[in-house]
Every structure is written in C-alpha cells, then in structure tokens.
C-alpha cells in the first residue's frame, strides 16, 4: 500500500464529550440556521486506524444523527488522509454507490484537536460474526449478495482520471506484478524468514492473469466493512485504502476464506454463494471472472493480510505500539499460510 500522506498522527485518545461546545458551534456554521446542540456522543466499535463517533444533535427542535470520522492513535501513513477519504466518499456517493452521504469536511484542528469529516449515520449492523450467522438458509442471503455485487460493480465503473481524485497515485501498467513486488519488499523489511509467503508470491508471479484497465477499488471491501439492516445492504464503510487498481482485487478480497467469519462454506464473504455475488456484479458490469483468476486474487488476498498481520505484530513486539490486538493479529499468520498452500495446490477456495 503506497504512502498517501505524512500528517502528524494523534498522540492521545480523543474525548468528543469535551468538544461538544466547539463542535456544536462548527455545525451551526454549516447549517446557517438556529443553533445546533450536540446532545450525545458515542464512540462506535471497530476502527483501529480511524475513530468513528456517533453524534446525536438537536437542530431547531429536530433530532439528527451523524457519524464523525477522524484519525485514531494507531493511524498509519499508508491510509488516505481524512480530506482525501472525504473526496473519495463524495465521488462514489455521486456515482450511486451505497455509502454514507458525506456532509462536511473540517481541517481546522482547533475544533476537536484533529481534522475530521462528518457523514450521514446509517442504520444497520457491520459485525462480521453476526452477519455470517444471522441467516439459517444453507445458501445464505442471496439478495444481499446480489446487492453487494451490484454495488461493487458500480464502484468499478469509476475510471481515471476523475475530477477531485488527482491525489490518488496512478496505477502501475502491471498492477499485479507491482503488488507482488510491494509485498515482497514489505517482507524483506521484516525480521525473520517467511518461506510460505515467499512461495505464495512466486506462485503469483508464475500464474498471474493479464492486467485489466484500472478502476477505482475499495481495497477492503469485505464482511465487517458494510452495514446490513433487515437483511439488506445500507452502505459500505471504511474507504481509507481506496485507489486505482484491478477490479478483481476487490472480488478476491471479498471472497477470501479469511473474511468469512466462521462460514467457510459461503464463499461470498460468509453471507452467501459466489454465484449470487457475481450475478449482482454482472447486472452492472460486463466483467467475466473465471475461477482461475478468482483463485489468483484470493491467494493475493491471503498474502496481503498475512503481510499486514506481520507488520502489526512487529509494531507490538518492537514497542512502537503495545497492543494486545496487534499481538493477536500476528498469531493469525500460520492460518493464512495454510490457506495459501491449499490454494496454490488447487485445494479449497
């Protein structure tokens, strides 16, 4: 993942409650109406790289609900800045992708101590473990899978150049080889040896499909990063890794076994069948995805997640950021390596 920005990272936990007054003043200025009063705030679960806060407010006697998104203490330079993420969110929302509507971007750190943006609060649940166990049917939620596929295809209709997204690095002529080279360089920078991951990278070099024209991809489109209400998709979250790339990368990431949350039998993110996901995708896009290409991108997905897990564990071990969550993430590597071996040998997907 290329470095996107070098803004100073937050050094302490954010207490939104203590910033209700300046935040209310800022929001009043955006509305240019009677005063906005923040009545309640609550940090939402998830978000190791960014913090998400639910804001409940009174605007001229009418209740409002928004989500404030800002950098977490553990923010990494490889993610988009909040201004860049706001621009991506604006572009995809305008393109008809189901996302929270972006409302206001604030880069004045005097308001809450960090830059932030505010977006619409959507109903729904994003818990991967809950979503993958909320359906009793063996085939999962076919309607949801079709919605997720169609939504992803709408995202992939955005191709460079796009007004307002000039900050995104151009895609490499061979994005597949560029990813292999990047993951190998990350491995080389880590202590120890990782022969299984090196095996996987070499397999990818020998089995890589021809590259496709670049489009806008999410790079973390998976169960756990979208909201579902009453069995239907309400919006996709967490756009901090978006960029130009191969559309099949998102499909491989979504269907990778590591993101099925205890339902390995349901290849479409643990919530349904692959055929339903691809049917939804093809309702918007003419892209045909063959099984071999999908297997390749699933291998790449497990390689990427394994590299990230090693990097996160190293942050804990080195003392850069002591965290039980980071330490436990590093324990996942052997499971990811096993899946890489099975996939490259033609085993289960």
179, two tokens: 């990813």
CB atoms within 10 A of CB 15: 11
Task: Write the secondary structure of 10-21 as one string of H (helix), E (strand) and C (coil).
Answer: CCCCCCHHHHHH
More confident residue, 215 or 134: 215
Whether the predicted model's global pTM rises above the 0.85 cut: yes
Q: What is the pLDDT of residue 263?
A: 93
Residue 119's φ and ψ, nearest 5 degrees, are -130, 165
Task: Give the whole-angstrom CA distance, residue 257 versus residue 265.
Answer: 9
Task: Give the whole-angstrom CA distance, residue 19 versus residue 27.
Answer: 12
12, two tokens: 């302490």
Structure confidence at residue 262 as a pLDDT band (50, 70, 90): confident
pLDDT of residue 75 exceeding 80, the answer is: no
Instruction: Compute CA 109 distance to the chain's CA centroid, rounded to the nearest angstrom.
Output: 25
Percentage with pLDDT > 70 across the chain: 92
What pLDDT digit, counting tens, does each position of 290-349 carry? Answer: 999 999 999 999 999 999 999 989 988 888 888 888 888 889 999 999 999 999 997 666
Helices (H), ranges, the chain = 20-31, 82-94, 128-131, 142-155, 175-188, 195-207, 247-255, 274-282, 291-317, 324-330, 333-344
- Please provide the distance, in angstroms rounded to a whole number, between the alpha carbons at the two ends of the chain: 25
Q: What is the pLDDT of residue 337?
A: 97
Q: What is the pLDDT of residue 154?
A: 98
How buried is 318 (Cβ within 10 angstroms: 0-12 exposed, 13-18 middle, 19+ buried)? exposed
275, two tokens: 């055929």
What domains appear along the chain, each with residue ranges and CATH number? 16-120 (3.30.200.20), 128-344 (3.90.1200.10)
- Which residues are within 8 A (CB) of 94 and not within 5 positions of it... i.e. 6 or more apart? none
Which three-class secondary structure state does DSSP give residue 68? strand
- Which residues are within 8 A (CB) of 286 and not within 5 positions of it... i.e. 6 or more apart? none
């Amino acid at each position: 993942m290329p470095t996107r920005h070098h803004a100073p990272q937050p050094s302490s936990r954010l207490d939104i409650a203590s910033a209700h007054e300046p935040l209310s003043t800022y929001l009043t200025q955006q509305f240019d109406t009677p005063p906005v009063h923040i009545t309640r705030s609550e940090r939402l679960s998830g978000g190791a790289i960014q913090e998400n806060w639910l804001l409940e407010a009174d605007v001229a006697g009418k209740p409002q609900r928004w989500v404030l998104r800002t950098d977490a203490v553990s923010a990494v330079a490889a993610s988009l800045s909040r201004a860049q993420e706001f621009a991506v969110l604006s572009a995809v929302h305008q393109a008809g992708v189901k996302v929270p509507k972006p409302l206001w971007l604030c880069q004045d750190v005097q308001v809450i101590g960090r830059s932030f943006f505010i977006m619409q609060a959507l109903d729904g649940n994003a818990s991967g473990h809950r979503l993958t166990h909320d359906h009793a049917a063996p085939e999962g939620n076919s309607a949801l899978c079709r919605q997720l596929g169609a939504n992803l295809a709408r995202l992939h209709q955005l191709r460079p150049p796009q007004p307002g997204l000039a900050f995104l690095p151009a895609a490499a002529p061979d994005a597949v080889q560029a990813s292999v080279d990047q993951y190998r360089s990350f491995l080389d920078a880590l202590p120890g040896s990782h022969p299984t991951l090196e095996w996987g990278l070499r397999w990818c070099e020998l089995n890589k499909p021809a590259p496709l024209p670049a489009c806008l991809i999410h790079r973390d489109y998976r169960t756990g990063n979208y909201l579902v209400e009453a069995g239907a998709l309400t919006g996709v979250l967490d756009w901090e890794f978006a960029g130009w790339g191969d559309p099949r990368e998102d499909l491989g990431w979504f269907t990778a076994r590591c993101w099925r949350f205890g339902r390995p039998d349901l290849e479409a993110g643990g919530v349904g069948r692959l055929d339903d996901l691809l049917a939804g995708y093809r309702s918007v896009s003419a892209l045909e995805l063959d099984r071999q290409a999908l297997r390749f991108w699933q291998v790449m997905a497990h390689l990427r997640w394994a590299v990230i897990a090693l990097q996160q564990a190293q942050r804990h071990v080195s003392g850069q950021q002591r965290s039980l969550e980071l330490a436990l993430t590093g324990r996942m590597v052997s499971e990811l390596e096993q899946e890489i071996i099975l996939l490259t040998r033609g085993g289960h997907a």
